[in-house]
Amino acid sequence: GLDPEMFPVRFSGEVPKFSVDQHLKRHCEVRSERSVQMGLVAGRDALLQAGFIDDTDSLIRSSLRIEAILGSAAGSCGEYEMGYQRFYERGPRAVQPATIPKLMFNALSANISIYFGLIGQNLVIGSACTAGASAISMATQLIRHGYADIVLAGGAESCFSPAIFSFWTCLGVLANSTEPSEACRPFDRRRNGMVLSEGAGAI
């Protein structure tokens, strides 16, 4: 986890002890970035609850056309930071071959489509804090106007790398309350900022 002692803001919404292997039935061939892992788990839950996959994470019918439209404000930002760190500390030879497919912004929807064998279009919307809601809105429009029959939609985010947390802290928008219970109060007149958090959700 992120060590908060070096930052003036000490609160965040971090998911403790998250392990993608405890949720997925099959191993991810290329170990994906944390936000992508969370998106995979949320996607699995949605597909399973909707009856489109079985308990082995396989589609009930391979011919099912399911689109994957997900939102993410920061994408695989942790992978960017690790890639730059390896490059500047140890040079080009230290950069891993899978860096590009792991850090590209479409890694979220692409990995979900690959893992579950989804054959519909897949894309990621990056409209900041509304990214997940925007993805669901687009999915609704595609279904409503007949461009899609089934859409897996939602969002995923995890931006707890030291540099990214520093960027948000310097922006001056994070809550600096001394009590965790008072840190996130979006509709309170005494609110003093937001709480940077991670997680994923899909429908």
For residue 191, how many other CB atoms are within 10 A of its CB? 14
* Res. 163 pLDDT band, cuts 50 70 90: confident
124/154 Cα distance (integer angstroms): 10
Is the C-alpha dihedral spanning 120, 126, 132, 136 positive or negative? negative
pLDDT at residue 12, as a whole number: 85
pLDDT at 9 > cutoff 90: no
- Residue-wise pLDDT for 167-176, tens only, equals 888 898 998 8
For residue 60, how many other CB atoms are within 10 A of its CB? 10
Better-predicted residue by pLDDT, 106 or 11: 106
Better-predicted residue by pLDDT, 123 or 159: 123
Residue that is written with structure tokens 């949605």 in the block: 46
pLDDT at residue 30, as a whole number: 64
- Residue-wise pLDDT for 22-67, tens only, equals 999 887 766 788 999 999 999 999 999 999 999 999 999 989 999 9
Residue that is written with structure tokens 């979900």 in the block: 112
CA angle 101/128/195 to nearest 5° reads 105
For residue 80, the surrounding DSSP H or E stretch is: helix 77-90
* Res. 2 pLDDT band, cuts 50 70 90: low
The percent of residues above 70 in pLDDT, for the chain, comes to: 98
DSSP state, 145? Answer: T
Better-predicted residue by pLDDT, 160 or 34: 34
What is each CA distance from 79 to 83, 98, 141, 163, in whole angstroms? 6, 10, 32, 12
- Residue-wise pLDDT for 88-121, tens only, equals 999 999 998 888 888 898 999 999 999 999 999 9
pLDDT at 185 > cutoff 90: no
pLDDT at residue 108, as a whole number: 95
Q: What is the mean pLDDT of the chain?
A: 91
Q: Rounded to two decimals, what is the model's pTM?
A: 0.91
55/122 Cα distance (integer angstroms): 23
Phi and psi torsions of 26, nearest 5°: -120, 150
- Coil, strand or helix at 188: coil
Average pLDDT over every residue of 131-140: 98
167/36 Cα distance (integer angstroms): 21
For residue 197, how many other CB atoms are within 10 A of its CB? 15
